[in-house]
């Protein structure tokens, strides 16, 4: 593992696949021009609209999203995480799928979101992700990259379930991805502290690309795509506008924190 620049992209995705992919490409280009070798896109990067419309277009969204990620990775010669897009499954639902692609355009890891967001938020909005999404059944993957470190996948609501990240750290993760479309209401209180907790307790870098702003109807997201170091220090925060959070991933810093705070070695219950 070497030192390198990582990017967490922040988008305001809409119910328009092509416009979203154009926005994503522009932000990937910006990240690469700033030196990024590892680029991550948020949950719902390619489509964010009404559930009925998502289901009706799921096959096209899934195919074009996957093709887009592979094309961008090859074109820019970077590793890219696509934080979440629908892939049709039997029974009329979709998997909320996270995909990691290497610079050759080869899929190296795939994760189907396990924890579905079925929540009555105190602002009066109800979310029932399980109405259209089928939960994945497998623990998230890690991908071992000699240059970038061991990368662990998750999606959004997973961040509230620390056992997911303990599993990833047990598998050797150096980097925890948390691509998200966090609600504006919950994000203001929980987003940053949850990301810091996952980084601190697992002594890992945490990379969290995010959705921001108003998307459709009453759907509004928190923003603040972040990169956090293993001590819990926020290295980059994209704020509330579309853009890119950029920071260095440094293996020496990772080793230093793990040496000074060897909590992973002190685990009693695994």
Q: Is 156 marked active-site?
A: yes
Rounded-to-integer distance, Cα 146 and Cα 235, Å: 23
Interior CA angle at 45 toward 224 and 132, to 5°?
A: 110
- The active-site residue, picked from 43, 54, 66, 98, is 43
- The active-site residue, picked from 66, 98, 134, 156, is 156
Q: Is 255 marked active-site?
A: no
Rounded-to-integer distance, Cα 86 and Cα 48, Å: 10
- The active-site residue, picked from 66, 70, 98, 113, is 113
Q: Is 51 marked active-site?
A: no
Q: Residue 198 in contact with residue 156, Cβ under 8 Å?
A: no
> What DSSP line would sit under 12-46, residue for residue?
---S-HHHHHHHHHHHHHHHHHTTEEEEEE-TTSS
Taking the CB of residue 203, how many other CB atoms lie within 10 A of it? 23
- Token pair in block for residue 139: 């623990």
- Torsional sign, CA 28, 34, 40, 41: negative
Interior CA angle at 106 toward 137 and 253, to 5°?
A: 80
Per-residue exposure over 183-196, b if at least 16 CB sit within 10 Å of its own CB, e if not: bbbbbeebbbebbb
Helix (H) or strand (E) holding 91: none
CA neighbor of 148 nearest in space, from 253, 250, 252: 250
**Which active-site residues does the annotation give?**
43, 113, 156
């Amino acid at each position: 593992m070497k030192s390198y620049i990582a990017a967490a992209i922040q988008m305001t995705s809409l119910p328009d696949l092509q416009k979203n992919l154009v926005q994503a490409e522009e932000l990937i280009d910006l990240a690469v021009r700033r030196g990024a070798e590892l680029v991550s896109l948020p949950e719902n990067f390619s489509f964010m609209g009404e559930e009925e419309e998502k289901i009706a277009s799921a096959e096209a969204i899934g195919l074009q999203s996957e093709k887009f990620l592979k094309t961008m990775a090859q074109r820019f010669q970077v590793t890219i995480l696509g934080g979440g897009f629908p892939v049709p499954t039997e029974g009329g639902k979709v998997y909320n799928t996270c995909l990691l692609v290497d610079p050759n355009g080869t899929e190296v890891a795939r994760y189907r979101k396990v924890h579905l967001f079925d929540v009555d938020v105190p602002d009066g909005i109800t979310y029932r992700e399980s109405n259209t999404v089928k939960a994945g059944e497998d623990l998230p993957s890690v991908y071992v990259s000699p240059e970038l470190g061991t990368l662990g996948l998750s999606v959004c609501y997973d961040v509230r379930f620390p056992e997911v990240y303990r599993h990833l750290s047990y598998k050797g993760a150096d980097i925890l991805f948390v691509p998200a479309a966090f609600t504006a209401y919950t994000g203001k209180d929980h987003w940053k502290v949850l990301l810091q907790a996952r980084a601190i307790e697992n002594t890992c870098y945490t990379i969290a690309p995010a959705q921001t702003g108003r998307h459709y109807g009453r759907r509004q997201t928190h923003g603040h795509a972040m990169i956090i170091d293993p001590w819990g220090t926020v290295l980059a925060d994209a704020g509330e506008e579309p853009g890119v959070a950029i920071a260095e991933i440094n293996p020496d810093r990772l080793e230093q924190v793990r040496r000074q705070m060897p909590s992973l070695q002190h685990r009693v219950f695994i």
